[in-house]
Amino acid sequence: MLLDRAERAATVLSRLGVGAGDRVAVHLPLVPESVIVTLACGQLDAIRTTLPVQLTAPQLAERIQDSDARVLVTADAAFWEGSVRPVKPVLDRALHHATCREVTAPVLVVSRCARPVGWKPGRDHWWHDELEQV
């Protein structure tokens, strides 16, 4: 099942323009999709770049800018220390930060907590929807 999802994820990443040597920035908590993205990057000879979920929006903006990622992968939210904390909203704030204004990479969003999140049509894509289309 894991390898099947990794293959599907590799197809999705490829459709989003990821090829050998390209970077995929992963802003996920410790979830299965993090491993799946890693395996998918391996299949494409792409480079996985980790963006820790603990970073503040300015710190994240700097890392995103430095990563030169072709695609960003994040989660709507995550469970930490018994509470639900936002993940994608922090990424959205980082992408609005002055240093990231030219970043136009697609964002794949993993649904972890079924919470409403801000959405930018054309940029944001649900992970599960994209994998189902493969």
Residues of the chain with pLDDT > 70: what percent? 96
**12 vs 101: CA distance, rounded Å:** 25
Segments making up each domain of the chain, as ranges: 2-132
Q: What is the pTM of this model?
A: 0.94
Residue 92 has pLDDT above 90, yes or no: yes
Report residue 52 as tokens.
């820790």
Report residue 66 as tokens.
């430095």
Query: What confidence category does residue 81 fall into, taking pLDDT thresholds of 50, 70 and 90?
Result: confident
Residues of the chain with pLDDT > 90: what percent? 84
**107 vs 78: CA distance, rounded Å:** 17
Fold annotation for 2-132 = Rossmann fold (3.40.50)
Q: Is 104 in a helix, a strand, or coil? A: coil
